Amino acid sequence: MINHPTRRSILSMIGAAAGSSAMYAAMTSLGHAAESPYNGPIKLDGDPKGAKVLILGAGLAGMTAALELRAAGYEVEILEYREKAGGRCWTLHSGDSYTELGGATQKVDFAEGNYFNPGPWRIPHHHHALLDYCRRLGVTLEPFIQGNQNAYLHSSNAFDGKPMRFREINADYRGGISDLLAKATNAGALDEAVSPADREALMASLKYYGVLDDEFNYRKGDHLSAYRGWAKWPGGGADARPEPSEPIDFATVLQSKLWSKLLEDQVTDHQETMFQPVGGMDRIAAAFEKQVGDLIKYNCKVTQIRQNDGGVTVTYVGSDGTSEPRTASGDWCVCTIPFSILSQIEADLSSEMQSVVDNMPYAEGTKFGLEFKRRFWEQDEHIYGGITYTDLPITLISYPSTGYQSDGPAVLLGGYPWGAISNQFTAMSPQDRIKWALEYGSHIHPQYMDEFKTGVSVVWHRVPWTLGCYGLWRDREANYDQATKIDGRILMAGEHVSYLPAWQEGAITSALDAISRLHDRVING
C-alpha cells in the first residue's frame, strides 16, 4: 500500500529543501491564497453631509481613499511625510537622490530615461483593482517578463559554479521524474494506486510530459533537444544540420537542488501575463497624485494622534523636524502609516489596537539597481527579460522587460534578498553594497566588472518612511480582525492590513474596504 504524503508533509519537505520563499510559493499553489476580492468601482451611496476625513499617508492606500471619498462628497485632507506621493510605489530616475536612515545619500547617475523600482516592480494579471485604476487613470502598461527559459539557474555548489539554462534543468528534471515513474508503473509498483485504464493514460501522459522515447526512456535525441536546447542549433545552408544535446544525469540534477526554483513563475502571483507601467512604477503614483494632489500636504511628520467622540486631531511638524508643531483635524481618520512607524507615534488607540500595531515586525528587503554600459545579457547571452536565480546572497537577477536590443546603458535588478540575508547588506555602506552585488553577480555574468557603469541600492530597514519592506503578521488569525475594526474614529488601511502583503493590490483593496465601512458608519450611524 502506498502512503500518500499530506499537504503538511509536502510543505515541510519543500521548506527544508528550498527555503521559506519556496514554501510560501507552495502554500499559494496549494490553495492558501486567493485572487483579489475587487469586483469593480466602489459605490458610496448617501450624503455624508460635509463630514471631513483626515488621511495619514499619500501612498496608494491613502490616495485611493482620498479619490473615492471626495467623489462621494467628503471633505478630505492628506498629510504625507515625503515631498512626493506614492509611498513604496517608488521609482528612482536619473538625477534623483535618496538619503537613507543614517544619513548616507545616493545620487542616481543613470543615463536619461533609465530607472530602478526599489519597491513594487511587477503587477500580476489578477490584481484587478490595481489594473482597473491604471485603466481609469490612464497609466500605460507593458508586459513584465517573469519566466524566461533562457535565463539561468545557478548554484555555487553545483556544476562547478557554472550557471545552467533554466530550460536544461527544467527539461532534465521533468524527464528524469517521468522516466522513473514510467519504470515504476511498468514494474507494477502503482497497481494498487491506479486502475488499468488509468495506468495506460498515465504512461501516455508521462511520455508526453517527460519527452520520453517510445521505450519510455529519457534519452538524447532531436525531439528532446527541441525542449532542452541543442548542442548545435539548426540553421540554414550547407552546415545547417543541428546536433542534439546531452541530458544531465538525473542524480546530478537532483543533488544540484536547482529544481527548487522551477516553479517560481507558476505561483499565481507570478503567472503570466504580468505587467509593469511604462517608464517606472511611480507612473501609478503620479496618476493618482494628478487626481488628489491638491488635497495633500507634503513634508508632514505626524507626531501625535488624538481622538474623542467628536473627531480626530493630528499634530505634525516638518519632516526635517525644524518647523513649529501644527494641527489638522477631521471627523474621521484613515491611517495608512506603516505600523513600524505608527508604533513610535503617540496615538489615542484602544489597548487592543495598540497591541496589534506594536507587535507587527516588518520584513527585511534589499534591492540593487545596476546600470551597465551595454545590454550584454541580450547581446552575449540572448536573455530578453525574465529572472535568473542563484544561491548567492543576491538571490536573483531580473533583466529589463523593455528597451530590447537598444544601444547604450541599461539597468537591471541586480539582487533582491529578503530576511536574514538582507540584514548583511543593511549593515553595509551603499558603496560596499554595490561592490558585493557586482562580486556576486560576476559569478553568473563575467561581464559585470568590465561593463558596470553606476548603481544604487535600497535597504528597506533604512527607508525613513517605512523602516521595513512590508508588514508581517505574528498571529494573523488572532489579530487581523482587530486591525480592521473602526477604532473610535480611526481606521487602518494599507498593504499590512490585507491578505496580500507587499502587493499594491493589498493596499488598494484595504483602503476600499476601510472607506466602505467608514461610509456605512457615517450614513447609518
User: What sections of 400-503 are H helices per DSSP?
Assistant: 419-426, 430-441, 448-451, 476-484
Residue 433: name the closest of 459, 467, 396, 466 by CA.
459
Q: Is 370 helix (H, G, I), strand (E, B) or coil?
A: strand
Contact 414, 455 (CB under 8 A): yes
d(CA 339, CA 301): 15
pLDDT less than 70: residues of the chain: 1-34
d(CA 258, CA 302): 47
**Sequence-separated (6 or more) residues with CB below 8 Å from residue 255:** 158
Q: Beta strands 311-318 and 326-330: pairing type? A: antiparallel
Residue 32 has phi, psi (to 5 degrees) of -95, 5
How does pLDDT run across 23-47, given as a tens digit for each residue? Answer: 344 434 333 345 788 988 999 999 9
User: pTM of the full predicted structure?
Assistant: 0.92
Residue 37 has what pLDDT?
A: 84
Residue 129: name the closest of 17, 34, 39, 262 by CA.
39
Q: Write down the CATH number for the domain with range 92-120+363-462.
A: 3.90.660.10
Residue 24 has what pLDDT?
A: 40
Q: Write down the CATH number for the domain with range 52-85+291-360+475-524.
A: 3.50.50.60
Residue 19 has what pLDDT?
A: 42
Q: Beta strands 141-144 and 274-277: pairing type? A: antiparallel
Domain range 165-263, CATH architecture: Up-down Bundle (1.20)
Residue 339: name the closest of 438, 465, 437, 506 by CA.
465
Residue 245 has phi, psi (to 5 degrees) of -90, 160
Q: Beta strands 332-335 and 396-398: pairing type? A: unpaired
Residue 18 has what pLDDT?
A: 43
Residue 309: name the closest of 490, 485, 484 by CA.
490
Residue 10 has what pLDDT?
A: 36
User: What residue spans define the domains of the chain?
Assistant: 52-85+291-360+475-524, 92-120+363-462, 165-263
